[in-house]
Structure 1
Amino acid sequence: MTPRPDYAGLRFPRGLYGITPDTDDTGMLLDAIAAAARGGLRSLQWRRKHSASPEALLSQGQAIAGLCRELGLVFIVNDDWKLAQLLAADGVHLGRDDGDLAATRAALGPARIIGVSCYADLARAQDLLAQGADYIAFGAVYPSPTKPEAARVPLELLAQARAQLEQLPAPRPAMVAIGGIHAGNAAPVVQAGADALAIIQGIFQATDIEAAARACAQAFV
């Protein structure tokens, strides 16, 4: 049996976790990802909710997967485990409506990363951890323009979740925080226990993407 990845005692890399903006401009995305990697990006989630065609979607996914391999970034596909499998991605991120974790694990095997959205629900996180999630994601920590309706997650909840994770054997699942995070507010989230910060606009809509990524990554120093 192939072992799960071990990222210094975690099952997902500690640090900056970029999430791509939804765009058909693949060239722009590739340039942005490369710039973020120079600034300290450790992992990337490719998130597409809309695409001109299945062919265009696959083409963009292949280009991003190849760049992530070249740069040494952990590559996660949002929502779609079949697409993750097709792209030989490192894993998939599942929301509430994106399928059953156990079935996804059976399809992808033991080595691939499965991350899950837990919103502001600690009980959901506990259930999904028991099912074998490799990371649990809580958000929105701060008001998020991407999902303005999302429930807010107090830093105290992150601290509670981290305390529970610390009781699990290594390599343990990681905790990801998402929602409105940028260089100016990242440090308290890491101090509360987040292993990784999932950021879209705070990196990819910055005027200087490399500098924004570097500033966000400083929260882990």
Structure 2
Amino acid sequence: MSDCQLYLISPLDVGGNFPERLARALDAAPVAAFQFRVKGLDQHEAARLAEPLQAICAERDVAFIVNDDVALAKRIKADGVHLGQQDGSPQEAREILGRDAQIGVTSHASRHLAMDAGDAGADYVAFGAFFPSQTKSSDHRPEPEIIEWWSKLFEIPCVAIGGITPDNCQPLIDAGADFLAVSGAVWDGDEVAAVRAFAEVLNASG
């Protein structure tokens, strides 16, 4: 049994029947966290869309993380926030969200950025994109070795992100990733089948 866990990231459209899809995905197999990632909405609208999703996660003991927006995370009392490199410092987020908030930081393919994030109090660092992704374009293409390096030297968990599927995730698990962050591989098809496929790979790795 691998220690690696699944970390779901929302599609940009979380309206319509998405709450039902999220519930089905979370019931299909264990998921550690869900990241609420919407763009270009005012905070009031984002909070309205987040509310049912947050309730679904809370019922299943899945951490609810807001992407990029510390103010929204505070407003809806999210479990944490995920910061890009332009989204402010982990220290500032910690001051606003409190001691118990989970704060993650995007580190792309940079060991230096990851160490800076760790020094600044991040609860996890994210490396990627490891594979081409339809969800978010990235010029950064790290190798799995960066996860191996990080997990040998640091206690802080690391997240692998970017184009990850059940078919290509094994090298990242083997390298020591604590979490696989996935979006398109789950939401672009049958979310139940996809989550179960990831769970099979994770359960077989150990």
Identity %: 36
Deviation by residue 1:128-178 (Cα, 9 ceiling, x = unmatched):
11111100000001111223333101011111111112xx4xxxx211000
Count of equivalent residues? 200
Structure 1 alignment gaps of length 5 or more: 1-12
Q: What stretches of structure 1 move > 6 A for 4+ residues in a row?
A: none
Deviation by residue 1:62-84 (Cα, 9 ceiling, x = unmatched):
12111111122110000111111
Aligned residue in 1 for 2:71: 82
Residue 177 (structure 1) aligned with residue 149 (structure 2): no
Matched residue SS, 1:117: strand
Residue 50 (structure 1) aligned with residue 40 (structure 2): yes
Cα distance in 1, alignment partners of residues 6 and 82 from structure 2: 16
Shift of residue 24 of structure 1? 5.1
Shift of residue 14 of structure 1? 4.6
Equivalent positions of 1:143-182 (< 5 A) are 143-165=132-154, 168=155, 173-182=156-165
Structure 2 alignment gaps of length 5 or more: none
Q: Which amino acid aligns with 2:5?
A: G
Aligned residue in 2 for 1:123: 112
* Contact 2:129–2:138 under 8 Å retained in 1: no
115 and 149 in structure 1: CA distance in 2 versus 1, 3 angstrom threshold: closer
Q: Which amino acid aligns with 1:187?
A: Q
Shift of residue 126 of structure 1? 0.7
Matched residue SS, 2:126: strand
Deviates more, 1:194-203 or 1:144-153: 144-153
Residue 107 (structure 1) aligned with residue 116 (structure 2): no
24 and 203 in structure 1: CA distance in 2 versus 1, 3 angstrom threshold: closer
Equivalent positions of 1:13-92 (< 5 A) are 14-23=4-13, 25=15, 27-40=16-29, 41-51=31-41, 53-92=42-81
* Contact 1:44–1:74 under 8 Å retained in 2: yes
Cα distance in 2, alignment partners of residues 113 and 120 from structure 1: 21
> TM-score, with normalisation over the residues of structure 1?
0.86
* Contact 2:131–2:141 under 8 Å retained in 1: yes
Aligned residue in 2 for 1:202: 185
Cα distance in 1, alignment partners of residues 135 and 109 from structure 2: 16
* Contact 1:139–1:150 under 8 Å retained in 2: no
Cα distance in 2, alignment partners of residues 143 and 155 from structure 1: 14
Shift of residue 114 of structure 1? 0.2
Residue 192 (structure 1) aligned with residue 192 (structure 2): no
Q: How much is the aligned-residue C-alpha RMSD, in angstroms?
A: 1.5
Shift of residue 110 of structure 1? 1.1
Cα distance in 2, alignment partners of residues 126 and 55 from structure 1: 35
> TM-score, with normalisation over the residues of structure 2?
0.92
Shift of residue 219 of structure 1? 2.9
Q: Which amino acid aligns with 1:97?
A: Q
Deviation by residue 1:170-216 (Cα, 9 ceiling, x = unmatched):
xxx2110000001111121111111000001001112x211101111
Aligned residue in 1 for 2:202: 220
